[in-house]
Amino acid sequence: MSETNYDLVPTRLAVAAMRDNGYKNTAYAVAELIDNSIQAGATRVELLAGEVEELVQQRKRSRIREIAVLDNGCGMDSKTLRIALQFGNGSRLGDRSGIGRFGMGLPSASISQAQRVEVWSWTDSPERANYTFIDLAEIEKGKQNSVPEPIVNPVPEKWYRVAEQIGNSGTLVVWTRLDRVMWRKSSTIIDRSEYLIGRMYRRYLHEGKITIRLAEYDAEHYSAARRARFAEVNDPIYLMNPSSTPAPYDTTPMFQPDGDLWAVEHKVPASDGTLYPVTLRFTVAKDEVRKKPQAGNTPYGKHAKDNIGVSLMRAGRELDLDQSLVNGYDPRERWWGVEVDFPPALDELFGVTNNKQAARHFSEITSTIEALVADDTRSAAEMKDEMEDNDDPAAPLVDVVSTVVRRLRGIREVIKIQAKGQVKQRLRHLESAEAQATEVTKKLQEEGRTGESDAGEALPDHERVEALQQEFEETGLSAQQAREISEDIVRHGAKYSFAESRLDGGAFFNVRPVAGEIIISLNINHPAYTNLVEVLQTEVSEDDSRDELASRLTRANHGLRLLLMAWARYEDEEENPIRREALQDIRTDWGRVASRFMRGS
């Protein structure tokens, strides 16, 4: 009777399923190998991308052939190497002291991109390296059901020509038969990987713990690298320098800490009840950064656009730039930074995936907490109590996420207000709505129609400036912004000015006479502001499509109609006929004044 294999999961089927393990792209898969290098104590890592010339549609084109990662870590002996290539195994399973522990990195990252992975690892000399491999074609044929026993095999001479340096100990991982790599050219792989690697390992790079060289080479002749450079720090909260941020913010921070309490620590319990620190850091763009018109279209503005999100840091290495709290349509989202820093002991609490690309529980809770903070119908504390009653393991995250949501809401308000401070002069003089209204008001004054604010026009200029400055500072503008705007108002004789601030109650706007000026304060927390004013004033980026711009106009039109319908309903609900008639008279009188302002006469 022939012997039949009744493995619980046949090797070829299990490995085929593991190829679809959720790596976002090749750069994330490469990061798994860099994690292994750091765990092995490496101070130098090289990402090597080799390409060849191929005939594609009767034209020669460069195409990627192989990808290699080389390090100068401690290396692996024969047994350790064999274990490292097993799925779900490894020498650091359960180790909470570093960035590893899942036992999936090397094999799963490799087969997610390539059909064959070869590994050389040595502890004292590359001439005595231990060598083994995984080959998917052989697994599919049933010829390879386990990791081959490593053999002593010197690192091939060709790698000495491509690499900058091969140390006395280290590991070389080579991917070939690349069938799932997202990008076809070595230059694209290096460029995309550099941005991600610079962000993921920014602390290691910033502190000089590691250097990461990225090089392209000819995989046909293995001559010296054609193009090579070292990864630079890419800090999404823009405090580290030097960095990859375009000048002038490559050597000086582009953001600043958000107040004295910009770093907040929570003590959070793990599953065993032990408390561990979770540190939250909040930053916001400096005033000077956004003074330039169309700051979002500058090189540094575009750099910030690619770093939008909450940076989740685990053991000094970024897991993900979480997008769950990002208002995708708003280009101003690039001007804030939030970092959530936690230890591996809290992996289960945060829901860290085994490919270290996300923290699922954090992302799931953020949208719920944001909704609670926005409508105040239910407190976060009540949500936490309910989760604890249901034995939800993510309950301790509620306090952390609540802090992030509340602080981010405040930062956004500051950004809105400061942004308007930057454009007030441009709006007043180039678009001239304020100037047009001022001219109409002068004609009304000549006709004998006076207002409460008119008496203040007789005050000395310096008193008017000081009074206006104080008013604008109270809305949230910096002292410098408030001073510049106030001086501009008095110098040009403008009668009207807008301010953006938080107003108590449900009012959309407030009117206040100050030193001869009529200040119209718009409530940035009112839906009418978001859907009518803000959508039209948000800076236009060259990246915005015609459809996006048309969508803004549609939203503004929608907002205006809702505003008018709200007034109509307000009149309709008034039961007192005398008061209803008074409201109709107010609407008529306001309409007459509005008509003159619109006509400019």
What SS3 string covers 455-467? HHHHCCHHHHHHH
Q: How does DSSP assign 298-364, residue by residue?
A: SHHHHHHHTT-SEEEEETTEEEEEE-TT--TT-GGGGGEEEEEEE-GGGHHHHTB-TTSS-BHHHHH
Residues of the chain with pLDDT under 70: 1-10, 21, 88-104, 373-378, 418-432, 537-545
Give pLDDT, residue 100. 54
Q: Are residues 271 and 393 in the same domain?
A: yes
Residue type, 471: E
Contact call for residues 92 and 76 (beta carbons, < 8 A): no
Bridge partner list, 282: 338
Q: Are residues 277 and 152 in the same domain?
A: no
- 339 domain residue, yes or no: yes
Give pLDDT, residue 93. 45
Which residue, chain included where needed, has tokens 């309950």?
395
**Rounded distance, CA 278 to CA 313, Å?**
10
Which residue, chain included where needed, has tokens 């039961």?
575
**Cα four-point dihedral sign 474, 478, 482, 483:** positive
- 139 domain residue, yes or no: yes
3-state secondary structure of 149: coil
- 311 domain residue, yes or no: yes
Q: Are residues 399 and 443 in the same domain?
A: no
Give pLDDT, residue 336. 96
For residue 536, give its domain range: 432-599
Which residue, chain included where needed, has tokens 């730039």?
321
Among candidate residues 54, 49, 31, 30, the one with its CA nearest the CA of residue 225 = 49
Q: Residue 253 gets which letter from DSSP?
A: -
Q: Are residues 466 and 579 in the same domain?
A: yes
- The model's pTM is 0.75
Give pLDDT, residue 198. 97
Contact call for residues 305 and 298 (beta carbons, < 8 A): no
- 3 domain residue, yes or no: no
**Rounded distance, CA 521 to CA 500, Å?**
5
Q: Are residues 322 and 439 in the same domain?
A: no
3-state secondary structure of 249: coil
C-beta atoms surrounding 180 within 10 Å: 16
Determine the longest span between alpha carbons in the chain, in angstroms. Answer: 114
**Rounded distance, CA 516 to CA 86, Å?**
78
Among candidate residues 89, 86, 84, the one with its CA nearest the CA of residue 73 = 84
The Cα-based distances of 176 to 66, 113, 134, 144, 228 in angstroms read: 5, 9, 11, 17, 21
Q: How does DSSP assign 98-143, residue by residue?
A: SS--SS-HHHHHHHTTEEEEEEEEESS-GGG-EEEEEEHHHHHTTS
CATH of the domain at 210: 3.30.565.10
Give pLDDT, residue 540. 59
Which residue, chain included where needed, has tokens 């308000």?
413
Give pLDDT, residue 437. 87
Domain boundary among 215, 230, 245: 230
Q: Are residues 275 and 314 in the same domain?
A: yes
Q: Are residues 482 and 550 in the same domain?
A: yes
- 104 domain residue, yes or no: yes
C-beta atoms surrounding 293 within 10 Å: 11
Spatial CB neighbours of 472, under 8 Å, sequence gap ≥ 6: 421, 481, 482, 485, 486, 499
**Cα four-point dihedral sign 568, 574, 575, 577:** negative
- 288 domain residue, yes or no: yes
The total domain count for the chain is: 3
Q: Are residues 404 and 436 in the same domain?
A: no
3-state secondary structure of 439: helix
535-553: b or e for each residue (b if 16 or more CB lie within 10 Å)?
bebbbebeebeeeeeeebe
Q: Are residues 529 and 481 in the same domain?
A: yes
Phi/psi at 45 (5° precision): -130, 145
Bridge partner list, 500: 522
Domain boundary among 230, 265, 288: 230
**Rounded distance, CA 410 to CA 417, Å?**
11
- 196 domain residue, yes or no: yes
Domain boundary among 373, 393, 408: 408
**Cα four-point dihedral sign 584, 589, 593, 595:** positive
Q: Are residues 192 and 282 in the same domain?
A: no
Phi/psi at 186 (5° precision): -65, -35
- 321 domain residue, yes or no: yes
Q: Are residues 376 and 484 in the same domain?
A: no
Spatial CB neighbours of 48, under 8 Å, sequence gap ≥ 6: 67, 68, 69, 70, 162, 163, 215, 217, 225
Structure tokens at 136: 């998917």
Q: Are residues 261 and 224 in the same domain?
A: no
